[in-house]
Structure 1
Amino acid sequence: MTQVESAPPGQLVVAAPDRVTAWFLRRSAALPAWAGPAAALVCIAGALGYTQITDPTTSAAGDPPSCLLKLTTGFDCPGCGGTRAAWYLMHGDLAAAARHHLLFVFAVPFLIYAYVAWAGKKVFNKQLPQLRVSPKMIAWFLAIWGVFTILRNLPWAPFTWLYV
């Protein structure tokens, strides 16, 4: 009889990590507190730097960065326009950013705050008020995002304004 089979009903049994997972857990425990937030910041800076260098506002359909779905089908995917919106936000043009992806522009302040709250807790042990995101809120956001995706692909006015 294995350990999982001998556990009382309803009790959570966590399996022992395999060798690779255990190695990563030991290494991550040895890292300083600022390593995670710094690594995330490096990734964000790399993405923003790549966006800055490639200038998605002037690139053709096949030039990087390109959306594979739009390139192959001609339809805007749920994220289409997000890179251009980020580029316009980096250049301070809020109206053009909202024109390319309104939901991305809406989400950016929340994402920045979530990062600052997480990094502040990890590095400085300072607790900022946490964003309380319920499953219902996530469901609503995803539903709105889905409707937005469908509407932006409709070929008649006023929805053609959403097509990027």
Structure 2
Amino acid sequence: MTTIEAVQGDITRESVDAIVNAANSSLLGGGGVDGAIHRRGGPAILEDCRKLRASHYGKGLATGQAVATTAGDLDAHWVIHTVGPVYSATEDRSDLLASCYRESLRVADELGARTVSFPAISTGVYRYPMQDAARIAVDTVRAARTDVEAVRFVLFDAPAYEVFAAQLR
């Protein structure tokens, strides 16, 4: 059974098998969590991402999918990149957000990762409402069939932490 917890902190400081990156489809870095992971992880992550773009992901990574690279200078073995959906008030994209968590755990299982840290995918510049995002994240991870032993949601600020912690109670 997978243990699930929420903590307030900096995901780039996590000591786990795999850190999940809320990436953009280009896989070439960006702002928010994506930029922080690329900056702290160093050039090895970007180098792996460029190799992915040159091979299987020439058009980028599709929303809801996940792929792994080295973790570079991070205290992890891998970074699992996933592209969350941009929030829409007129179109239900919850399945795509849930897919980010399922696919990241699938990739973690393929890698043999036992500990995984997730950010609040799509809640930054993609504007997914924190309450909905937390419910989808927690419900999806709880329902996942995975060999991952421990999942940690690492939330950057107190309000996000409070929402995820409440969802876990």
TM-score by length of 2: 0.24
TM-score (norm 1): 0.24
More helix by share: 1
Tell me which structure has the larger Cα radius of gyration.
1
More strand, by proportion: 2
